[in-house]
A and B are shown apart, each in its own frame.
Chain A
């Protein structure tokens, strides 16, 4: 079922036009190279289950924060050296994914160890899904013996821009985000709630999927989580600097 969201009647063309307009306000910009772009990993399975979702996330980030984003999502293979021009990549599907080759896993390991960030988004949003199993296998191959672990609620990810109390997505299938830390930072984040799906729109600008069980409030939370994830990827633990703590604690108490 597709729902219309009256406050966000933006078609893809309008969206791209808006992004271009946002970019144009920085008259002296360096071009796309200076903007934050997402890379969608092109794997051997259904690699692009939410074709519009990441562009929408980029647009929301650009609209809500000072981050300059590019609306263009780069689809890229794991073995492509250009992957290293996109430190934020998304690995997604709504079904099990064929196991990547060892060389691809090695490349992904290098990518993450040198500073890359990987969002594993389960578009099927079903617990124990084929994608979830694939994702866990990939993680254990990237870091032998490594496992996804629950991201605690006091993690800086939940306060990197918005003050959030938990994960969100198209559905509320899992109560927590999971992740894997490398070099003291969260390098891999796993969402089992189809985070990108909550942001996807069709070509007419209509929300592509209903958000359950929380409706539009849950969708807003998913957008905010997407913003926080991007903000964390760019700022890391900035919000844990001492100067922020009293402000955040005060607002948490409100």
Chain B
């Protein structure tokens, strides 16, 4: 607009000048031109409306933000066996009072504490027991830069921290973070706290699934960080409740700080176990607590591995095999004796599909891989198995499961009396003889124990359950036995009281004696009687689940409130449910808890409680230091008789990365300083002498404007100039 006006005025002056430029009288010509130029300038002044602004200005002090780390990692020692990082910081603040006062003379000083968030703080009241649950240095710096008072320019930021960032900077300074810092346009000066204790080895991360399958390889991914080590071989050890299950050695050479290790092992039994991954604590390490990490792993079965050893093919064998083979939860390994030494197949061995009975492989090498061993009408004598019977009994006592199914080669008739197998059976045996079997048909009847026991639960309703059992076809005969063993329970018996089904426990294992070779009657014969095979299928599925201690069928249970408890937080608590072996609620049971840790396997009393009428109780344990624990709960009756025992595992470990990844990270502080053209300082450096940015910034106070054109004098001059120009032009004879 202005340019247009100037151009228009210039053009007008030029056009008028053209009218008299041929005039030989130069003075006249220049006089007229001067008048016209003066008029044009005056018109321009009127158009532009110029004025004068008067301002009252003062210089503004820039701002310095001092940030002090108040996260929990500051509670770790600043140097091996030295004061905490927080104490070190307080000491620094005390020593720098004069320095800080000098700084305050030059700049507006804003003091903040920071952890996950930024909050105002006072230099004289920095916390000796910082409680911040996380550290986010980048957020603290950007917040401090933008939250200044009165728009003061930022002269710089000072950060005093151990650098253990567990937010955006945990993996180092990213290009995006560096760009964000550069935008601050102010230097960052960093004071690393605890940098003297740079030597540290830590199990930084342990990654493993929540559960694993027994006899299947488990891989534990471990991330070890090593700082301050030059060259050393470090063993990384995985322990299950104190016992080493896997180990690998990493070579730490100082070229990098992170080392990934894969530890593999194969769990050999089910349950919940506390594992610990650890590396040694070397002399001079900043933190010893982060050299081990614990976790709880639940080991479950993918399938129940059953070994079925059969003395001879029969319909009882056939229906059981068919059931087990169809069950997707069962991995069945079976061995049938198809030919005895007395049989004559009229052929050479090569014409037969028979294989040698691999007794050594099964009963010595592979035995522990099975969850359940079933002897179905099997006599061990012809196969020289006496040497393996001890091992089978030990397998049962160690937590295995064993079932013997009747027949003319079973129990007493199978010559097991006086063998280690008799020791684990729930029934005692008779010497071999004609009384070993009783061919009197047996009509089934549930016992009191059978009415409550999950193995014999065909229906949830008691009367219906009883009806279902009593309606099943009579069994054609039973094996006879001696007296029951202590703790054994008869679940089914004949009408006249002969035991049919007996269960019990041997050591940590469970055993079952089915004194009949005709349980298939409950399937096929029952189907012929329009009852269907459901009773048979339900019975065997329940029996297998009970034998292998399916958690759903365990009479006494204990469960930690959580898998992991925070040290110093709520103490560990256990929920206990007490049922007798008859599955009735054990109200009033005396419950006691002992616990052992991975580092101290000796069980120590940890608490006691009294079960309520429903058999339930909660036991709160005392606060425990960090570690992996196994709690064993024992329930007793008032007379001292043991009702049952159950176990659970839990860990006491910090969940926060703040306490896990607590090694000082001066490298992070160095990167921050470099990105902002600041630097890392020593504790002895004075803040006041640091090269803060000191931008000239004035603050405008009062402001007044005075227009230069808005008065009568400008108008009068304009009239006089135009009038003079017109008069002279007329007088000198121009148009």
Residues of chain A at the chain B interface (Cβ within 8 Å): 25-31, 33-34, 36, 63-68, 81-85, 87, 110-111, 114-116, 159-163, 183-185, 220, 223-224, 231, 233-239, 241, 243-244, 247-248, 251, 254
Contacts and interface: CB of A to CB of B under 8 A. Distances in A.
A34 B517 contact: yes
A74 to B, nearest CB: 13
Nearest to B313: A234
Nearest to B352: A162
Contacts of A28: 408, 413, 432, 434, 436-437
A87 B315 contact: yes
Contacts of A241: 333-334
For the complex of A and B, the 7 pairs showing the least CB-CB separation, nearest first, are A84-B528, A33-B476, A234-B313, A28-B413, A114-B527, A66-B312, A30-B477
A238 B527 contact: no
B432 to A, nearest CB: 8
B325 interface: yes
Contacts of B338: 65-67, 161, 231, 235
B677 interface: no
B290 interface: no
Contacts of A27: 434
Given A29-B408, A68-B312, A114-B523, A235 B321 contact: yes
Contacts of B340: 66
B336 interface: yes
Interface in B316-348: 317-319, 321-322, 325-326, 333-340, 342-347
Contacts of B527: 84, 110, 114-115
Contacts of A235: 313, 317-318, 321, 336, 338
A40 B312 CA distance: 24
B363 interface: no
Contacts of B350: 163, 251, 254
B325 A236 contact: yes
B363 to A, nearest CB: 14
Given A34-B518, A159-B353, A66 B339 contact: yes
B302 interface: no
Nearest to A233: B318
Interface in B369-386: none
Nearest to B532: A114
Given A34-B517, A231-B338, A65 B343 contact: yes
A211 to B, nearest CB: 16
22 contacts: A33-B476, A64-B343, A65-B313, A65-B339, A65-B345, A66-B338, A67-B338, A68-B314, A114-B524, A115-B523, A161-B339, A162-B352, A184-B326, A231-B338, A234-B317, A235-B318, A236-B321, A236-B325, A238-B334, A243-B358, A244-B355, A247-B353
B522 to A, nearest CB: 12
Given A34-B408, A34-B476, A115-B322, A25 B523 contact: no
B437 A238 contact: no
A162 B347 contact: yes
Given A66-B312, A234-B313, A83 B528 contact: yes
Interface string B589-606: 000000000000000000
Contacts of A81: 528-529
Contacts of B358: 243
Contact of A34 (B326, B342, B477): B477
A82 B524 CA distance: 11
Contact of B336 (A83, A233, A238): A238
Contact of B408 (A26, A162, A233, A244): A26
A224 B523 CA distance: 30
Contacts of B439: 30-31
A55 to B, nearest CB: 18
A78 to B, nearest CB: 12
A111 B655 CA distance: 61
B525 interface: yes
A160 B354 CA distance: 9
A106 B121 CA distance: 89
Contacts of A238: 321, 334, 336
B351 interface: yes
A67 B134 CA distance: 73
Contacts of B347: 162, 224
Interface string B421-446: 00000000000101011010000000
Contacts of B587: none
A68 B408 CA distance: 11
B400 interface: no
Nearest to A246: B355
Contacts of B413: 28
Contact of B337 (A63, A66, A239): A66
Contacts of A160: 353
Contacts of A114: 523-524, 527-528, 532-533
B314 A36 contact: yes
Contact of B528 (A33, A85, A243): A85
A183 B337 CA distance: 25
Nearest to A185: B322
Interface string B164-184: 000000000000000000000
A49 B335 CA distance: 37
Nearest to A60: B346
B15 to A, nearest CB: 112
Interface string B194-220: 000000000000000000000000000
A40 to B, nearest CB: 17
Contacts of B314: 34, 36, 67-68, 234
Nearest to A111: B528
Contact of A87 (B318, B334, B346, B408): B318
Nearest to B517: A34
Given A64-B339, A114-B528, 15 more contacts: A26-B408, A29-B408, A29-B437, A30-B408, A34-B518, A63-B343, A66-B340, A85-B525, A161-B345, A161-B354, A184-B326, A235-B317, A238-B336, A241-B334, A254-B350
Contacts of B317: 234-235
A26 B321 CA distance: 24
A67 B340 CA distance: 9
A244 B434 CA distance: 37
Interface string B294-315: 0000000000000000011111
Given A66-B313, A116-B524, A234-B315, A163 B343 contact: no
Contacts of A159: 353
A231 to B, nearest CB: 7
A231 B313 contact: yes
Identify which of A87, A231, A254 gathers the most chain B CB atoms within 10 Å of its CB.
A87
Contacts of B476: 30-31, 33-34
A25 B343 CA distance: 12
Interface string B383-411: 00000000000000000000000011100
A116 B318 CA distance: 11
Contacts of A254: 350
Contacts of A185: 322
A118 to B, nearest CB: 14
B346 A64 contact: yes
A36 B315 CA distance: 7
Interface string B511-541: 0000001100001110111001100000000
Contacts of B345: 64-65, 161-162
Interface string B349-367: 0111111001000000000
A83 B529 CA distance: 10
A115 B524 contact: yes
B525 A30 contact: no
Nearest to B526: A84
Contacts of B319: 115
A90 B355 CA distance: 30
A27 B342 CA distance: 15
Contacts of A82: 528
Given A34-B518, A83-B528, A25 B353 contact: no
A64 to B, nearest CB: 5
B692 to A, nearest CB: 78
